[in-house]
């Protein structure tokens, strides 16, 4: 692809690629430490007033550049798991913020991979992240007696209330979900006011009043207040090495013009699809042969039903109730486990899910006509790394001239067994809650793995701090470095890792 050549900006200490959960916390930490740092973001900067309560109008905050999906369990991308813009996927994330379970960091004995550190290192980082972004939660958390949330919990909407009813009937413990959603107005250190949640239900379309945390209304405000520069609309297409083999420049496209940004260090924080795609495209940091490998996505099957009472599931925080009773079920015939959350979705999303789940014709029309009486629950389940679950470069190119990624993903015996167990549990909960016309809808969620961290360079891409084994001024910090998928949603852990990587870098300067 040919492009005009723009003026070369002045060299900086650090370039951060991506402004989502992986890039933003470390950007803030480095800027606070006086590091001269520039962040490059492929998408545009958003004003919250541009967010609208409209599913279709929200498309611009999703990464919709085509990704090729294959395997026996192909994953949907776009609005399912991929954002674009200053704030990355936290613009559209559900703000559901459970912490990792200690057992999920020690999966080698169960057929997976161990993390190179334990929960004792992550817990204080979780606490810092929760304080900065504003995480609400219950006064007491049934699965962690020592955990305390600073903000009162979100209100339980109707789907959460019926899940509560079903769980109570079966003796399943539950709690209000940890959520990065303000339940009271909060004035940030720079004087900016984030307002309390108004229960509009449009978390996945961007939050107009900043009640839902994104990196744009938290970490990035800290970063820019301390001198960091954020350049939006910048698609990184190359990493240039000098004669010693270190990264010397980052090449990016902005409005069709090609620029080179000279730098001392590079942090690639573009997610578990775009990070390995860039490395495979440039041929860097892959002496282990592990870039793009060990791709994981959560088992995320959902169970829906129709209730006699109106649910109005479009209102309230969508995932207000959680149970972690099945992170290690007593009767499990599989490794790992899963958590369950209540669900409320908007009409177009529900129609798409039903259709993809095989509901057609008159049955689809009938269920859609009863939307106001529908509610759901869903899981987030562990996936083991498998050799055939992999990201490679396709023979198609995108608008930047880079090869499009091809992601092959398939469930194996462990994922199928976990899914069957969870489906049985969710059906029982919904039956006890009084649901009829129960529908089981398969789903795969999140993008994880592809640049695994570990202690040895022969099996891993980066070390426990996120530094490349091959190139000492190249770092990776996002969900691509996860050795295991975890039962917990990834964003909180990504932010914790971002702080950990930033502090390791600063300590080594």
Please, what are the domains in the chain? 7-248+280-508 (3.50.50.60)
Contact 463, 469 (CB under 8 A): yes
SS3 452: coil
Q: Using 70 as the pLDDT threshold, list the residues of the chain that sit under it.
A: 1-4, 7
Would you tell me the crossing angle of helices 23-32 and 491-508 to the nearest 10 degrees? 30
Q: Nearest CA to 42 among 1, 91, 78, 84? A: 84
- The pTM of the whole model exceeds 0.95: yes
**Predicted local distance difference test score (pLDDT) of residue 1:** 42
Question: What's the per-residue H, E or C state across 8-51?
Answer: CCCCEEEEEECCCCCHHHHHHHHHHCCCCEEEECCCCCCCHHHC
**Partners of 241 in the β-ladder:** 247
Give the separation between CA 132 and CA 218, rounded to whole angstroms: 7
SS3 444: strand
Give the separation between CA 90 and CA 144, rounded to whole angstroms: 26
Q: Nearest CA to 432 among 250, 168, 207? A: 168
Give the separation between CA 108 and CA 384, rounded to whole angstroms: 10
371-389 pLDDT, tens digit per residue, is 999 999 999 999 999 999 9
- The helix or strand, by DSSP H or E, that contains position 420, with its residue range, turns out to be helix 413-433
Give the separation between CA 342 and CA 359, rounded to whole angstroms: 21
Give the separation between CA 428 and CA 298, rounded to whole angstroms: 22
Distances 117 to 93, 163, 191, 406 between C-alpha atoms, Å = 27, 35, 37, 31
Contact 409, 444 (CB under 8 A): yes
**Predicted local distance difference test score (pLDDT) of residue 265:** 98
**Predicted local distance difference test score (pLDDT) of residue 303:** 98
- How many helices, marked H, and strands, marked E, lie in the chain? 9, 21
Distances 393 to 21, 54, 55, 250, 401 between C-alpha atoms, Å = 25, 34, 31, 20, 12
Classify residue 21 as exposed, middle or buried by CB count within 10 Å of its CB (0-12, 13-18, 19+).
Answer: buried
Give me the phi and psi of 381, to 5 degrees please: -120, 145
Give the contacts of 107 (CB within 8 A, at least 6 positions apart): 113, 114, 335, 336, 382, 384, 483, 484
Give me the phi and psi of 72, to 5 degrees please: -75, -20
Buried b (16+ CB within 10 A) or exposed e, 95-110: bbbbbbbebbbbbeeb
């Amino acid at each position: 692809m040919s492009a005009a050549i723009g003026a070369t900006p002045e060299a900086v200490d650090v370039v951060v690629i991506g402004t989502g959960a992986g890039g933003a916390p470390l950007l803030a930490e480095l800027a606070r430490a006086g590091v001269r740092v520039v962040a490059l973001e492929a998408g545009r900067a958003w004003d919250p007033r541009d967010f609208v309560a409209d599913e279709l109008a929200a498309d611009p905050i999703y990464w919709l550049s085509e990704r090729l999906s294959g395997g026996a369990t192909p994953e949907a991308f776009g609005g399912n798991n991929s954002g674009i813009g200053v704030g990355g996927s936290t613009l559209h994330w559900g703000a559901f913020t459970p912490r990792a379970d200690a057992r999920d960091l020690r999966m080698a004995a169960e057929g997976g991979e161990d993390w190179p550190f334990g929960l004792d290192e992550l817990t204080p980082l979780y606490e810092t992240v929760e304080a900065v972004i504003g995480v609400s939660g219950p006064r007491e958390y049934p699965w962690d007696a020592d955990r305390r949330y600073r903000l009162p919990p979100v209100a339980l909407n109707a789907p959460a209330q019926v899940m509560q009813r079903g769980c109570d009937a079966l003796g399943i413990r539950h709690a209000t979900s940890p959520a990065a959603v303000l339940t009271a107005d909060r004035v940030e250190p720079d004087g900016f006011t984030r307002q309390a949640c108004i229960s509009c239900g449009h978390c996945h379309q961007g939050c107009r009043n900043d009640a839902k945390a994104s990196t744009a209304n938290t970490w990035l405000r800290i970063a820019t207040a301390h001198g960091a520069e954020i350049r939006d609309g910048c698609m990184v297409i190359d990493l240039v090495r000098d004669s010693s083999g270190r990264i010397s420049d980052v090449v990016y496209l902005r409005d069709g013009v090609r620029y080179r940004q000279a730098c001392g260090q590079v942090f690639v924080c573009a997610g578990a699809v775009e990070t390995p795609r860039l490395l495979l495209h440039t041929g860097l940091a892959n002496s282990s042969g592990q870039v793009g490998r060990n791709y994981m996505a959560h088992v995320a099957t959902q169970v829906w039903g129709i209730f006699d009472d109106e649910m109005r599931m479009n209102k309230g925080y969508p995932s207000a109730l959680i149970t972690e009773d099945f992170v290690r079920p007593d009767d499990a015939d599989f490794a790992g486990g899963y958590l369950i959350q209540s669900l409320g979705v908007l009409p177009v999303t529900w129609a798409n899910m039903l259709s993809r789940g095989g509901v057609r014709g008159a049955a689809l029309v009938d269920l859609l006509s009863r939307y106001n009486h529908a509610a759901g629950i869903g899981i987030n389940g562990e996936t083991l790394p498998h050799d055939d679950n992999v990201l490679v470069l396709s023979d198609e190119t995108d608008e930047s001239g880079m090869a499009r990624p091809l992601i092959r993903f398939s469930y194996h015996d462990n994922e199928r067994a976990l899914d069957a167990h969870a489906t049985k549990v969710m059906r029982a909960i919904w039956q006890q809650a009084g649901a009829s016309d129960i529908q089981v809808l398969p789903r795969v969620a999140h993008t994880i793995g592809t640049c695994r961290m570990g202690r040895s360079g022969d099996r891993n891409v980066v070390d426990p701090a996120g530094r490349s084994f091959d190139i000492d001024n190249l770092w990776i910090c996002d969900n691509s470095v996860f050795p295991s998928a975890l039962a917990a949603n990834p964003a909180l852990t990504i932010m914790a890792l971002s702080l950990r990587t930033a502090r390791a870098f600063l300590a080594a300067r």
